[in-house]
Amino acid sequence: MVPITTFHYLVVAAALFVLGVIGVLTRRNVVIVLMSIELILNAVSLNLVAFSRMWGNLHGQVFAIFIVVDAAAEAAVGLGILIAFFRNKETINIDEIDLLKW
């Protein structure tokens, strides 16, 4: 078999990234949109860790940890907004979230 190189990891990350983008752009359910964002973040941190391995230093891994922190913050705030929104409009469809004020 071909030995696994950084390039292989990049391809996987790119595939995850594109899947995430498709999810963000096409799904209606906000929860799933948030999940797709998590996919994108994962793709990015996979890239970073792969590069970290490629260069043989730890910067990529540290950044991956920061990305996890960011993902946690993003999920908390995003889901908080979602709950608040659901209370008011009783919907989580992205099509119906079209007012700047309610």
Quick check: 22 and 40 in contact, CB under 8 A? no
Q: What SS3 state is found at 93?
A: strand
What b/e string do you get for 29-41 counting C-beta neighbours within 10 Å, with b at 16 or more? Answer: ebeebbebbebbb
When the beta carbons of 88 and 101 are compared against other proteins, the nearer one is 88
Contacts of other proteins in 18-77 (CB under 8 A): 18-29, 31-32, 34-36, 38-39, 42, 45-46, 49-50, 52-56, 58-59, 61-62, 64-66, 68-77
88 binds other proteins (CB under 8 A): yes
The site for other proteins, by CB under 8 A, has a size of: 78
